[in-house]
Chain A
Amino acid sequence: MSDFADYTLDHLDVLESEAVHVFREVIGEFDRPVLLFSGGKDSVVMLHLAVKAFAPSPVPFPVLHVDTGHNFPEVITYRDETVDRLGVRLVVANVQDWIDDGRLRERPDGTRNPLQTVPLLETIVANKFDAVFGGGRRDEEKARAKERVFSLRDGFGQWDPRRQRPELWDVYNGRHRPGEHVRVFPLSNWTELDVWRYIEREEIELPWLYYSHEREVFSRDGMWLTAGDWGGPNDSEAVVNKVVRYRTVGDMSCTGAVESTATTVADVIVEVAASRLTERGATRADDRLSEAAMEDRKREGYF
């Protein structure tokens, strides 16, 4: 142990300070930032950090939610209560609007996750957002491991791994041409466990479906999905009662619940620490499509 232990920060404090530094860089370098806020735990932690970064001023940018129309109703309630409490402006891009006016077509499998990209990009353009905060973490998936904190997107919202700028020290280069924007990932260096430990330490409230509860689910592709208007289950899929919780809360059609009795943050931390599956491997059907699934979606402009 060093002789300056009193002047050494805990790793969560280092990560927090680094994320706050990123928020403050963006407000200094961009005209119209926006934060992607779904009510999912990573976006909740991001918003919490934004509040701390600018205190006692209010958060100086709006939040944006791409609503597939298949989101969990309890998460939408949580989203609305949170933005009201913090006094931040909420912009919603409803995928349903794009389907209704024919700009997008429903997929045969009923999932709307891949349909989010177009509404996201069109809303970014329409609002002239030039920096978009996302909750992506490098530990999530292999393609994300090489993602920058400031990630340049071209006029079509596309990510080109070979055009990404080297990031040295803590100097972030947010320069972009008109029509381009920059995705910013303040949680780049956090792991799933860091996020949960921070939620515990800061006593951050989450949508309750992150904690264990009884739910009617059915099995598809080895995941427990919730029945709902989005089209599940089909006739051959039996609905059963299970004690479950969600590790991520995305579109209902492709976000699976895990069997769990973890009812508190502390329980969840024990469970995550002991888990033998990655967060996305356990709960995201969209990442299982191919070995390079995430890389392909990132190139197209996905989160």
Chain B
Amino acid sequence: MTHELLRFATAGSVDDGKSTLVGRLLHDSKSVLADQLAAIERVSNERGMESADLALLTDGLRAEREQGITIDVAYRYFSTAKRSFILADTPGHVQYTRNMVTGASTTELALILIDVRHGVVEQTRRHAAIAALLGVRHIAVVVNKMDLVDYSQEKFNEVSASFTDVASSLGLVDTTVIPVSALVGDNVVDASDTMPWYTGPTLLDYLETVPVGTDPRDEPFRLPVQYVNRPRTAKYPDFRGFSGRIASGVVRVGDDIVVSPLGSKSTVTGIEVLGTPVDEAFSPQSVTLLLADEIDMDRGDVISSTESSPLMTNEITATVCVLNEQPITAGQRVLARFGPKTIRAIVESVTDRLDLESLTHLPFNGALEVNDLGTIKLRLAGDVAVDNYADLRTTGAFILVDEQDGSTLVGGMTRC
């Protein structure tokens, strides 16, 4: 049986106990090794704490330890007999929008923490909204600190119902709500006998069984070309392959394809998965395609199925998250990166900004500041092949880059 990989992100408000929950998950799934545990026990002792502070497992950099905050996305790795996991641990407060957007962009599940005593708060709604915006498919809501409300089913049901309202208003269809005490360990890895009224999965059970990925046969084929492979060696004088990672869909030998943005057409005559010839390949495999015709192609072009090709355009409307201190304004000249494609662009206009309190887009034409989410219109120096982000994540995503200092300015999601 295939040992699958699940990537998920965590989000929580300050003091929801996120670091403790992550520490508990790592500890109870036996992913914390003796020397790591010894190190945090030593530090906990120096700070006068009675037992090991599991939150220390996830605080990485010196600046964070000194200030007692988490300042960036940290990646954690653990595995069980059933699955391997990559956890993007995003901080709860400082720069939280930017960091959560970053963390959520590579994941298919978001774990949102709620303190049962406080219920659904403004930040909970923001986290859910960001997850929805980034196209995160599954939401696990961990209702934490159940030990502080005497494991009350009534309190849990209240929180659960109010989150369900938020989720449905955001169009989040797959949400699972789990009552937990991270401090004690109830329902994190081991089922709890303190909450007999709860019959659902523990957090780890859920993480081990939620479906990973989607069926690539349901998606149109897209291959952004990274590299044109021409060995020109004595053994391979005429080999000309097009290398990239399949962004979505399936490709088979004999398929008719079209290359964007030029529109040239050809037929797949061969597929190699890292040196091995195959008849069929699918997302997210890295492949090299051989074609029947000698067509002109460069890095950044997109090979797709002739049945459903991406939009070709030099005008793009997109939702963006500002990641840098440098604000985004109309008239700004930037570089746009669509996967392997780099192209000059101008911000034509800023049209709205997401109000994080009401979760509504309000008309706005000023400067979008760091951590703002809003809509912009971009004009590009030429046509690019793009998809609607909500349909196809990889070919719908882009970043904007400052040409002078190279900073990544925004993460963008195409709407078309």
Using a CB–CB cutoff of 8 Å, the interface residues on chain A facing chain B are 1-5, 7-18, 20-21, 24-25, 27-28, 52-58, 138-139, 142-143, 145-146, 152, 161, 164-171, 173, 175-177, 188-189, 191, 193-194, 275-278, 281-282, 291-292, 295
**Interchain Cβ contacts under 8 Å between A and B, 18 examples:** A4-B214, A4-B215, A14-B5, A14-B284, A17-B286, A27-B227, A52-B275, A58-B231, A143-B61, A146-B61, A146-B73, A161-B72, A164-B72, A166-B101, A177-B405, A189-B77, A278-B35, A278-B36
- Closest residue of B by beta carbon distance from A137: B77
Inter-chain contact A277/B34, CB cutoff 8 Å: yes
Is B236 within 8 A of A56, CB to CB?
yes
Show the binding face of B for A, using Cβ within 8 Å: 1-5, 33-36, 39, 43, 59-63, 65, 72-77, 79, 83-84, 86, 98-99, 101-102, 105-106, 211-217, 226-227, 229-231, 233, 235-236, 239, 243-245, 250, 272, 274-275, 282, 284-286, 288, 299, 323, 335, 337-340, 393-394, 397-399, 401, 405-408, 411
Q: How far does the Cβ of A133 sit from chain B's closest Cβ, in whole Å?
A: 15
B2 contacts across to A, CB distance below 8 A: 5, 8-10
Could you tell me the distance in whole angstroms from the C-beta of B20 to the nearest C-beta in chain A?
Answer: 17
Contact A165 B76 (CB under 8 A): no
- Taking CB atoms, residues of chain A closer than 8 Å to B33 are 275-278, 281
Contact A169 B394 (CB under 8 A): yes
Residue from B59, B83, B340 having most chain A Cβ neighbours under 10 A: B340
- Find out whether the CB atom of A170 lies under 8 angstroms from the CB atom of B63: no
Contact indicator A24/B411 (Cβ below 8 Å): no
Complex: A44 Cα to B76 Cα, angstroms: 24
A1 to B61, CA, bound (A): 39
- The residues of B that contact A145 with a CB separation of less than 8 Å are 60, 74-76
Which residue in B98, B245, B335 is a CB contact (below 8 Å) of A21? B245
Contact (A10, B3) CB under 8 Å given A28-B340, A278-B33 = yes
Q: Which of B98, B394, B405, B406 contacts A170 (CB 8 A)?
A: B394
Given known contacts A56-B275, A278-B33, is B101 in contact with A170 (CB within 8 Å)?
no
B214: nearest chain-A partner, CB-CB: A4
Inter-chain CA distance A292–B65, complex, in Å, is 10
Contact flag A56-B235 (CB < 8 Å), given A10-B2, A175-B406:
yes
Q: State whether B339 touches A146 (Cβ < 8 A).
A: no
Within 8 Å by CB of A171, from B4, B236, B286, B397, lies B397
Closest to A55 in B: B275
Q: In angstroms, how far is the closest chain B Cβ from the Cβ of A235?
A: 30
Chain B residues lying within 8 Å of A161, measured Cβ to Cβ, are 61, 63, 72
Q: Is the CB of A168 within 8 A of B105?
A: yes
Verify B245–A170 contact, CB threshold 8 A.
Answer: yes
**Chain A positions within 8 Å of B337 at CB level:** 171, 173
Chain A CB within 10 Å, residue with most, of B1, B59, B393, B406:
B406
User: Which residue from chain B places its CB closest to the CB of A13 in the assembled complex?
Assistant: B285
By a CB distance below 8 angstroms, the chain B residues around A16 are: 274, 286
CA distance A193 to B31 in the complex (A): 12
**Contact check: which of A7, A24, A177 meets B282 at CB < 8 Å?**
A7
> B408–A139 contact, CB under 8 A?
no
Kindly identify which residue among A3, A20, A24, A146 contacts B60, using a CB–CB cutoff of 8 Å.
A146
Enumerate chain A residues within 8 angstroms of B411, measured Cβ to Cβ.
166, 168-169
Bound Cα distance A193, B236 (Å): 36
- Bound form: Cα–Cα A83–B282 in Å: 33
List residues of chain B with CB within 8 A of the CB of A5: 2
Query: Considering only CB atoms, which chain A residue lies closest to B275 in the complex?
Result: A55
| Interface contact A24-B243, CB-CB below 8 Å | yes
Residues of A within 8 A of B5 (CB): 9, 11, 14-15
Q: Which residue of B lies closest to A60 (CB)?
A: B227
Top 8 closest A-B pairs, CB basis? A175-B406, A281-B35, A11-B5, A4-B215, A55-B275, A52-B274, A24-B226, A57-B231
**Closest Cβ neighbor of B412 among chain A residues:** A168
Beta-carbon contact of B62 and A169 below 8 Å: no
User: Smallest Cβ distance from B66 to chain A, in angstroms?
Assistant: 10
Nearest-CB distance from A68 to chain B (Å)?
25
CA distance A7 to B39 in the complex (A): 42
A168 to B274 CA separation, bound complex (whole angstroms): 25
Considering the complex, give the chain A residue whose CB is closest to the CB of B239: A56
A165 touches B407 (CB 8 A): yes
Q: Closest Cβ of chain A: how far from B222's Cβ, in Å?
A: 13
Report yes or no: B74 in contact with A168, Cβ–Cβ below 8 A: no
Of B35, B59, B211, B338, the contact of A2 (CB 8 Å cutoff): B211
Q: How far apart sit A5 and B215, CA to CA, in the bound complex (Å)?
A: 9
For the complex formed, measure the closest distance between the CB of B81 and the CB atoms of chain A, giving whole angstroms. 10
Contacts of B35 in A (CB 8 A): 277-278, 281-282
Give the chain B neighbours of A12 by CB distance below 8 A. Answer: 3
Contact B62 A166 (CB under 8 A): no
State the CA gap A25–B406 with chains docked (Å).
Answer: 16
Q: Are A139 and B77 in contact (CB under 8 A)?
A: yes
Residues of A within 8 A of B397 (CB): 168-169, 171
Also in contact, A10 and B4, with CB within 8 A (given A146-B60, A173-B399): yes
Known interface pairs A28-B226, A166-B411. Does A9 touch B215 (Cβ–Cβ under 8 Å)?
Answer: no
A57 touches B407 (CB 8 A): no
Give Cα A282–Cα B35 distance, bound, in whole angstroms.
8
Among candidates B60, B284, B393, residue contacting A9 with C-beta atoms closer than 8 Å: B284
Does A292 contact B62, Cβ atoms closer than 8 Å? yes
> In this complex, what residue of B is CB-closest to A166?
B102
Q: Is the CB of B245 within 8 A of A189?
A: no
Q: List residues of chain A with CB within 8 A of the CB of B408.
A: 165-168, 173
What distance in Å separates the Cβ of A255 from its nearest Cβ neighbour in chain B?
A: 16
Q: A7-B215, A14-B5, A20-B245 are in contact. List 10 more A-B contacts (CB 8 A).
A: A2-B215, A11-B5, A11-B83, A55-B288, A57-B233, A145-B75, A161-B63, A169-B397, A171-B337, A295-B62
A residues less than 8 Å from B106 (CB atoms): 168-170
Contacts of A164 in B (CB 8 A): 72
On whether A166 and B323 interact (CB within 8 A), knowing A20-B245, A291-B43, the answer reads yes
